[in-house]
Structure 1
Amino acid sequence: MKVLFIGGTGLISEAVSKLAIARGIELFLFNRGKRDEFVPEGAQVITGDIRDSKGAAEALGNMQFDVVVDWIAFTPEHVSVDIELFRGRTKQYVFISSASAYQKPPQHYIITEESTPLENPYWQYSRDKIACEKLLMEEQASSGYPVTIVRPSYTYGDTMIPASLNSWQHPWSIVARIRAGKPIIVHGDGSSLWTMTHNTDFAKGFVGLLGKEEAIGQAYHITSDEVLTWNQIYEAIGAAAGEAPKLVHIASSFLISHDPDLEGGLLGDKSVTSVFDNSKIKALVPDFDAALSFAEGIKRTVAWFEAHPSRCTEDEAWNLQMDAIIAAHESGFKK
């Protein structure tokens, strides 16, 4: 297969790119060339900016692809450009949506592609993804545009230490905080259920979708089957860091009152129990198996950071914010 990834070097997509190459796919990456260290050997890079539709069209010329995957489309405007740019030049267009698009709070804790509605009143990011899906499915129905939708949930890899509260720019911050014996905030009582998926496991399900005619007009989530409480997740991060974390449980509403930007990520995602039924992806890709437990995956991640000391940076502003929220919570509790 001849496949184009728009992006292809991000947290999730870099693992997919590696597996695609390993399975003999002729892979092209269209991006701005900002993360060349994550381009796998064997991939061909086309330098350009997908946000410059005219320049993108010129860079791609008359190239045709079996599959086009856009890893960085977030709004209907982005998708509209893709529809016109790739109309007639691909047999399958894969849109990367988000499992956060599913109903919040859900009617049932087990999420399936067919029975769980798409509705998220708490997060604009998710509503934009829902709007993208709606636009693409309408285009598929009206013109036969060959769309497949994929909804990742919380997916991590070597370069991300996943938590409900951590610094995005400096993910090592939470490990440094644990090792320093500082308290770690867990939303709620830490008992809600969650799913963590390693990017190498996600890649197995995703690559299996590429070129499958049966996937046209369909949506799939691809996640681990392992279900953990948030307390267990933080305990696993602590075990990987070599230090038991000192967990402080704080209501999501309290956290949001101190930082309104947390509403989407908490009420619109991580504070809600999410257990995914992966029967649909397994039926189409029988060899998909999310084999890596979070306990082992996070050990791998911490080891990667330790092997790259320049990445072990801390976010002082985030640390101060965590300290301030904990102090405010303790003050209110004492009153």
Structure 2
Amino acid sequence: MKVLFIGGTGLISEAVSKLTVAKGHELVLLNRGARSSFVPEGARVLVGDIRDVNAVSQLLKDEEFDVVVDWIAFTPDHAQNDLKLFAGKTKQYIYISSASAYQKPLQHYLVTEETPLENPFWQYSRDKIACEQLLMEAYQTNGFPVTIVRPSYTYGDTMIPASLNSWQYPWSLVDRMRQGKKIIVHGDGASLWTMTHNSDFAKGFVGLLGHPDAIGEAFHITSDEVLTWDQIYKAIGAAAGVEPNLVHMSSDFLCARNPELVGGLFGDKAVSAVFDNSKIKRFVPEFKANVPFAEGIKRTVEYFEAHPERCQTDEAWNAAMDAMIEAFEAGIRS
């Protein structure tokens, strides 16, 4: 197949791009060319900005694709622009949504694709829901060939995943652990979560490319391994060669001190996330997640250590962690 990825070099998509080429598909990446080191050999890059619809329309006017995947559509305006660009021009359009769109709080601990979409805590998730609704309406009304994929927390070589870490400088968490500083864990550390390695996600995703029965369907693709947050932080520490000094704080306290955390905690990580993957396994029988978190995070730490330019720390984030710890401990003493 000839496949277009809008993006294709990000944390999740770079692993999918690599596997797509390995499976023999012709892959074209449309992006701004800022992460060329993550373009797999054999892929072709069209440099452009998907937000400039007229320019992209001209860029793609002589191209035809069996599948189009948009990795970077976040708002209904983005989805509407994709409808303008690709309606009637592809056999399948895959929209990357988010598992954070699922109901918060959950009525049942086990998440299936039929779990309602409702997130009153996070605008990011509500925008993803609105995109899904827009695209599914286009499918139901005009036959637009949409497939929806909802990743949960997916990591790879370039991401050290945690509920609290610096997004720009993720090595900050490992550095803090190695210095013996206190590490904040939301809640009591016993709630359940699912971490998925991007190479595992890729296997399920690539199996959906060109799958005729996937049109009009939604899927999440995650590991079946379920961990507590304490186990996650201890696995990161073990990969870094240390025992982390964990401090548990309620999500209420953390969000009161830093309202920017509301979406990521109440709208996502403070709620247990256990996924039923039977649907993706039914559509893609070869899909199986084989990378346990302890192994995957060890690879990640080794990757960072092999790329010292990535081992930068975020002093503003460190200061924010110290301030919350100080306030928390002062409250306990009083």
Interval of TM-score (by shorter of Structure 1 and Structure 2): over 0.9
How big is the shift at 1:88? 1.4
Query: What does residue 281 of structure 2 align with?
Result: 282
Does 1:16 pair with 2:16?
A: yes
Structure 1: distance between partners of 2:190 and 2:105: 16
Structure 1: distance between partners of 2:141 and 2:85: 17
Query: What do the CA deviations read for 1:277-334 (whole angstroms, capped 9, x no partner)?
Result: 0000000100100000000000000000000001000000000000000000000011
Query: What do the CA deviations read for 1:144-201 (whole angstroms, capped 9, x no partner)?
Result: 0000000000000000000000000000000000000000000000000000000000
Structure 2: distance between partners of 1:47 and 1:321: 38
Query: What does residue 264 of structure 2 align with?
Result: 265
Query: What does residue 300 of structure 1 align with?
Result: 299
Query: What does residue 225 of structure 2 align with?
Result: 226
Instruction: Give the letter aligned to residue 107 of structure 1.
Output: Q
Structure 2: distance between partners of 1:230 and 1:148: 31
How big is the shift at 1:46? 0.5
Structure 1: distance between partners of 2:289 and 2:332: 42
Does 1:78 pair with 2:78?
A: yes
Residues 73-112 of structure 1 aligned to structure 2 (within 5 Å):
73-112=73-112
Consecutive unaligned residues in structure 1, runs of 5 or more: none
Structure 2: distance between partners of 1:302 and 1:132: 35
Structure 1: distance between partners of 2:88 and 2:105: 39
Does 1:243 pair with 2:242?
A: yes
Structure 2: distance between partners of 1:283 and 1:310: 42
Structure 1: distance between partners of 2:109 and 2:32: 40
Query: What does residue 172 of structure 1 align with?
Result: 171
Query: What does residue 27 of structure 1 align with?
Result: 27
Query: What does residue 144 of structure 1 align with?
Result: 143
How big is the shift at 1:74? 0.2
Residues 102-141 of structure 1 aligned to structure 2 (within 5 Å):
102-114=102-114, 116-141=115-140
Structure 2: distance between partners of 1:273 and 1:87: 37
Query: What does residue 183 of structure 2 align with?
Result: 184
Q: Does the CA-based 8 Å contact 1:63-1:89 persist in structure 2?
A: no
**In structure 2, the residue corresponding to 1:301 is in which secondary structure?**
helix
Instruction: Give the letter aligned to residue 264 of structure 2.
Output: G
How big is the shift at 1:61? 1.4
Percentage of pairs with the same residue = 71
Consecutive unaligned residues in structure 2, runs of 5 or more: none
How big is the shift at 1:220? 0.1
**In structure 2, the residue corresponding to 1:299 is in which secondary structure?**
helix
Query: What does residue 52 of structure 2 align with?
Result: 52
Instruction: Give the letter aligned to residue 44 of structure 2.
Output: Q
How big is the shift at 1:63? 1.1
How big is the shift at 1:84? 1.1
Structure 1: distance between partners of 2:126 and 2:243: 37
Query: What do the CA deviations read for 1:104-147 (whole angstroms, capped 9, x no partner)?
Result: 00000000002x10000000000000000000000000000000
How big is the shift at 1:62? 2.6
**In structure 1, the residue corresponding to 2:68 is in which secondary structure?**
strand
Query: What does residue 320 of structure 1 align with?
Result: 319
Q: TM-score, normalised by structure 1?
A: 0.99
Instruction: Give the letter aligned to residue 66 of structure 1.
Output: D
Structure 2: distance between partners of 1:259 and 1:40: 39
Query: What do the CA deviations read for 1:236-280 (whole angstroms, capped 9, x no partner)?
Result: 000000000000000001001111010000000001001000000
Query: What do the CA deviations read for 1:59-80 (whole angstroms, capped 9, x no partner)?
Result: 1113110000000000000000
Q: Does the CA-based 8 Å contact 1:167-1:173 persist in structure 2?
A: yes
**In structure 1, the residue corresponding to 2:207 is in which secondary structure?**
helix
Instruction: Give the letter aligned to residue 28 of structure 1.
Output: V
Structure 1: distance between partners of 2:308 and 2:295: 21
Instruction: Give the letter aligned to residue 7 of structure 1.
Output: G
Structure 2: distance between partners of 1:268 and 1:60: 37
Query: What does residue 61 of structure 2 align with?
Result: 61
Structure 1: distance between partners of 2:235 and 2:229: 10
